[in-house]
């Protein structure tokens, strides 16, 4: 059994067959290449010299408490040989040496094997995310107009990025996103540090972003990324609104208008994941027609 860095000739899509948290080999490699040196590590686990598992780690303060993150996947037929634990241990060392105080992982509710391995390695449950999906073919036009009207009443205007968005316009988006991420429940106590290169590797095209502006300032945004598990399916990357613009339906308007625009581009579904305690955004999602489809457990371990 060995764990090594991933190579260009590794078929990461094949290794992640059945992984509900996989966003595709192209996206994975693009993200790793765009990140600052030493921040991202992609590994492959081998059994008897053959690729048998995958792992991904970020040594930046992207999670609660300033923790780094790790994620692994071993196909069902190759489990119970210790490879998942070996992959996680390797990634934990990477995150620790990057200076993070701890590490977080996410385990789908359906993956009892992953939960067992995580607990064996000393991780404890820190939270839970509910996953829900919106069918874009059944959007409610009346609720959409009501959401737009409520936001407009307080001077909020929704605007997509222009197709020829400049670097300055992208940096303006990133500035808002970074601030809002650090305010979110997912990034409390020092988390939410998303490197610009990683952001741009995931949110690469203007159509993925919708902004909420008031008096020329960006007060909110929502952005999405394509998923690899089904055609015409997107996943929310982040939605956030500045504190002084909350309570006026801006999140609802952003999500609703973006859904309408995405439907015109041929997309059929939007999926999202929200912490159990993030009642506000889950209420917004339910109002828009999102329906629960699953969930995942967040587990963490401090290194000290």
- For residue 101, give the CATH number of its domain: 3.40.630.30
Same domain, 180 and 114: no
Contact in structure between 170 and 38 (CB atoms under 8 Å): no
- Of the pLDDT bands very low, low, confident and very high (cuts 50, 70, 90), residue 231 is confident
Q: 280 vs 50, which has greater pLDDT?
A: 50
**Total number of domains constituting the chain:** 2
Q: Do 37 and 186 share a domain, yes or no?
A: no
Domain co-membership, 138 together with 280: yes
**Confidence class of residue 190 from pLDDT cuts 50, 70 and 90?**
low
Domain's final residue, options 107, 128, 149: 128
pLDDT at residue 187 is higher than 60: no
The pTM (predicted TM-score) of the whole model is 0.86
* Residue 94 confidence (pLDDT) above 70: yes
Across 43-67, average pLDDT: 94
Q: Are residues 113 and 232 in the same domain?
A: no
Give yes or no for residue 230 having a pLDDT over 70: yes
Domain that holds residue 46: 2-128
Could you write out the three-class secondary structure of 249-271? CHHHHHHHHHHHHHHHCCCCEEE
- Confidence check: pLDDT of 191 > 60: no
Collect all residues with Cβ–Cβ distance below 8 Å to 222 and sequence separation of at least 6: 209, 210, 236, 238, 239, 240, 251, 254, 255, 258
Distance CA 261, CA 254 (A): 11
Question: Does the structure show a pLDDT above 80 at 275?
Answer: yes
Q: Are residues 86 and 112 in the same domain?
A: yes
pLDDT of amino acid 185: 65
Q: State the Cα–Cα distance between residues 257 and 56, nearest whole angstrom.
A: 34
- 176 to 16, 62, 272, 286: CA distances (angstroms): 33, 16, 20, 25
Q: Report the Cα 11 to chain-centroid distance in Å.
A: 22
Sign of CA dihedral 116, 120, 125, 126: negative
- Asked whether residue 149 falls in the same domain as residue 291, the answer is yes
- The average confidence (pLDDT) of the chain is 92
238-264 pLDDT per residue, tens: 999 999 999 999 999 999 999 999 999
């Amino acid at each position: 059994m060995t764990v090594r860095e991933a190579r260009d000739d590794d078929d990461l899509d094949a290794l992640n067959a059945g992984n509900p948290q996989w966003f595709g080999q192209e996206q994975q490699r693009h993200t790793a290449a765009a990140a600052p040196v030493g921040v991202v590590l992609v590994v492959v686990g081998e059994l008897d010299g053959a690729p048998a598992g995958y792992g991904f780690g970020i040594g930046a303060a992207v999670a609660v408490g300033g923790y780094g993150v790790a994620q692994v996947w071993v196909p069902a037929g190759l489990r119970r040989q210790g490879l998942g634990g070996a992959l996680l241990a390797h990634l934990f060392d990477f995150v620790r040496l990057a200076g993070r105080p701890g590490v977080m992982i996410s385990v789908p509710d359906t993956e009892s094997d992953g939960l067992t391995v995580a607990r064996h390695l000393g991780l404890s449950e820190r939270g839970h995310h509910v996953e829900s999906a919106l069918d874009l073919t059944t959007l409610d036009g009346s609720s959409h107009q009501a959401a737009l009207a409520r936001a407009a009443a307080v001077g909020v205007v929704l605007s997509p990025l222009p197709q020829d968005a400049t670097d300055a316009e992208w940096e303006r988006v990133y500035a808002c996103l970074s601030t809002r991420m650090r305010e979110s429940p997912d990034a409390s106590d020092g988390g939410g540090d998303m490197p610009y290169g990683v952001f741009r590797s995931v949110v690469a095209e203007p159509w993925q972003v919708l902004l909420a502006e008031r008096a020329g300032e960006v007060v909110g945004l929502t952005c999405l990324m394509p998923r690899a598990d089904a055609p015409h399916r997107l996943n929310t990357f982040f939605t956030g609104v500045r504190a002084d613009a909350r309570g006026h339906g801006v999140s609802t308007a952003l999500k609703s208008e973006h859904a309408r625009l995405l439907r015109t581009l041929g997309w059929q579904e939007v999926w999202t994941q929200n912490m159990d305690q993030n009642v506000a955004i889950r209420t917004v999602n339910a109002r828009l027609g999102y329906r629960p489809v699953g969930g995942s457990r967040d587990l963490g371990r401090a290194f000290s």
